[in-house]
Amino acid sequence: MLINRIAVLCSGFLFATLLSATSQAEINTLQPEQDQGSTAREIVGKLEMLHYNKLKVGDEMSETLWDEYVEALDPTKSYFLASDISEFREWRTKLDDQLRAGDVKAGFEIYNRYRLRVTDRLNNILSQMDKGLPAFDFSRDESLELDREESQWPVSISAADELWRKRLKSSVLNLRLTGKKDEEIRDLLVRRYKGQLKRVEQQNSDDVFELYMNSLTRLYDPHSNYLSPRSLENFNMSMSLSLEGIGAVLQADEEYTKVARLVAGGPADRTGKVKPNDKIVAVGQDKEGEMVDVVGWRLDDVVDLIRGPAGSFVRLETIPTGGDGSHRTILIQRSKVKLEDQAAKKATFEFSDGEKTYKIGVINLPTFYIDFEAYRRRDPNYKSTTRDVAKLLAELKEEKVDGVILDLRNNGGGSLQEATMLTDLFIDQGPVVQIRHANEQISRHNRSRSRAMYRGPLMVLINRLSASASEIFAGAIQDYNRGLVVGNQSFGKGTVQTMAPLKEGQLKITQSKFYRVSGDSTQHAGVTPDIPMPQLIDADSVGESAYDTALPWDRIHAVPHAKYFNLKDLLPDLIGKHNQRTSADPDFIFLREQFQYESERADQKFVSLNEFAREEERKNLNDRLLTMENRRRNAKGLEPYASFEAYEESESGDVATIGGPVEIKLEKDPILNEAGFIMADFIGLSDKIAKTPPQVADFNSR
């Protein structure tokens, strides 16, 4: 199932003894508008002609489109009946011909049936709620299937009713476990279902058309999509520096809105409390406003609720990823995401290799930025990544650092121009990245300086959220053997998109693909570090490889480029020292245990509907987390926590607001701390490095 899908309405938790007799007419059957047929023909033509992935819209794609569209509407297989699916199959090999003819009626007919099923279910559950919260036997041993991707649609109304009974029971139990009373639960669920009913009734032709067209564009790759006029407005707003909000990219994930990534330096990022994959269940305005349940909401409606003027407050109720299902409320002050918040910053620390102490400079780079407006008006003081890092390198040189770590963790990319120009600071003349276009022509970006600005020991620190421009830079440093790449396999986003105008809206379409100077693509596989660190983010759920239709990894011809150091001979010693140092390190033991814990939680296929079992499960999970943390604290000579509640209070608190500028600290960053020791080893073992040629890689000239 595709992760990055746009959900129109996702499943609630309810049951009914019979479907109501609501007719299609009573819920305002939606019909395609006049221009949508011609827009569909235009989209098909541009995809076939312009997209990097040369696919033709034919019978085979028609079948895949049918599968994708039905799954996009009902990913949990909870609304449609098997009889509905059987009826829809008549279109399975016909959608391609219909789209070429500008006929989108099949997409609307399938959607209208979906809309009818949803409306019936919501009306029935609301009528059930009029009589009070249904009585459930929470001592009964039964479970709910969490992942229904491989399941079948209900074969009858009674089978659907049983599925919805369990879903409602699970929803009630989840709320009971948060401490809510039955009357509170009933009121919350009634508001939730009424809100879902209102939103499904407000769906219009543009919404259906956009969903149908995006089911087509996703077959080409996950980054190509159709933007309706409304979505285009939101897209343009999100790309603007004047965007005011919390600085988070959100996506729909079944009935939830999920945090896809954080904007570096933005309000949500600076709280330290919001993480990728956290689920948002409620949103409240200001410090005391009512929390509005947003489960089942449209993605853009949730975004509208969270967005607001700079200086105002918003509260998010989230289910943290990898937790025990408990909710957390976070207070965030909205603000504009400014270049200053995302600018490169530096710090210096001292590390020893056991024989000698070295001063290491760390430059944190949250994104590849450039102030295009100031650049276009020829402002001599315009801000950019390369200019700022050059200044920081000059300052570090004055401070006589022995080596530099460039921290690109969580850097999702940005300006390609800045990624190539930044490489100028570290290597002499040569190619940086290759780009193969849809017409199969290959262009190359070369660095322009005749001599690198910084010539000393270098390390690039990456993780799973380092993407796009970050991967171009890290890949170039690795291919040139200019420095060590340390951390985790990067995201793997190696494609370039452009905007193509349409009669209605625009088409964001993938037209190019990045390749390293070695010939390897950064697409799908990303950059593999020379020295791996403990994995903190699940690569199966985050990254390009998590998308079903991601373009594959491949390679083209390498281009001639220099090799600076013989790192291959040095790596065994560095890895051996790293493994020896971290095998007994309390922080690293904790990180590995934490990832194992979260992986086990992510693999859970069923959830118990027995209250006692769930309480025991939660207690066991909390005890495990507390034991892991206290083992770490004891090993570090810190006072252990007396209870899980004390640990949770210390780690998260009830609310959090943004603070001042983000500082580089080692205390709570064991990955950066270990990177410093690796760098010290790297410098200490420098006499074993074969300098090729010596005038290019001369440690004494740093």
How high is the pLDDT of residue 662?
Answer: 60
Select the CATH number that applies to the domain covering 242-338 from these four: 3.40.50.880, 3.90.1530.10, 3.30.420.40, 2.30.42.10: 2.30.42.10
pLDDT grade for 341, boundaries at 50, 70 and 90: low
Q: pTM for the full model? A: 0.86
Q: 143 with 606: CB under 8 angstroms?
A: yes
**pLDDT tens per residue, range 292-317:** 888 878 777 888 888 888 889 999 99
User: Is 206 one of the catalytic residues?
Assistant: no
Q: 289 with 316: CB under 8 angstroms?
A: no
448 Cβ partners below 8 Å, 6+ apart?
421, 424, 429
Cβ neighbours of 604 (radius 10 Å) = 10
CA atoms of 549 and 540, how far apart (whole Å)? 14
Pairing of strands 244-245, 256-262: unpaired
CA atoms of 5 and 207, how far apart (whole Å)? 14
Instruction: Say whether domain 341-568+669-689 belongs to CATH 3.90.226.10.
Output: yes
Domains 242-338 and 341-568+669-689 share a fold: no
User: Is 388 one of the catalytic residues?
Assistant: no
Nearest 5°: phi and psi at 503?
-60, -40
CA atoms of 283 and 280, how far apart (whole Å)? 8
Q: Which of 169, 258, 493, 513 is catalytic?
A: 493
pLDDT grade for 324, boundaries at 50, 70 and 90: low
Pairing of strands 345-352, 531-532: unpaired
pLDDT at 72 over 50: yes
Highest-scoring range by mean pLDDT, 527-531, 643-647, 648-652: 527-531
**pLDDT tens per residue, range 347-384:** 999 999 988 999 999 999 988 888 777 778 888 888 88
Mean pLDDT for 176-193 is: 90
How high is the pLDDT of residue 229?
Answer: 81
CA atoms of 697 and 481, how far apart (whole Å)? 10
Q: Which of 415, 468, 512, 686 is catalytic?
A: 468
pLDDT grade for 339, boundaries at 50, 70 and 90: low
**pLDDT tens per residue, range 432-480:** 999 999 998 999 888 666 688 999 999 999 999 999 999 999 999 999 9
CA atoms of 475 and 469, how far apart (whole Å)? 10
Nearest 5°: phi and psi at 568?
-55, -40
In the three-class reduction of DSSP (H, G, I as helix; E, B as strand; rest coil), residue 458 is classed as strand
Closest CA to 249 of 307, 207, 335, 315: 307
CA atoms of 522 and 432, how far apart (whole Å)? 13
Q: 82 with 155: CB under 8 angstroms?
A: yes
Q: Which of 479, 520, 538, 585 is catalytic?
A: 479
Closest CA to 702 of 437, 436, 396: 396
Domain ranges of the chain: 35-220, 242-338, 341-568+669-689, 605-653
User: Is 599 one of the catalytic residues?
Assistant: no
* 446 vs 208 pLDDT, higher one: 208
How high is the pLDDT of residue 609?
Answer: 95
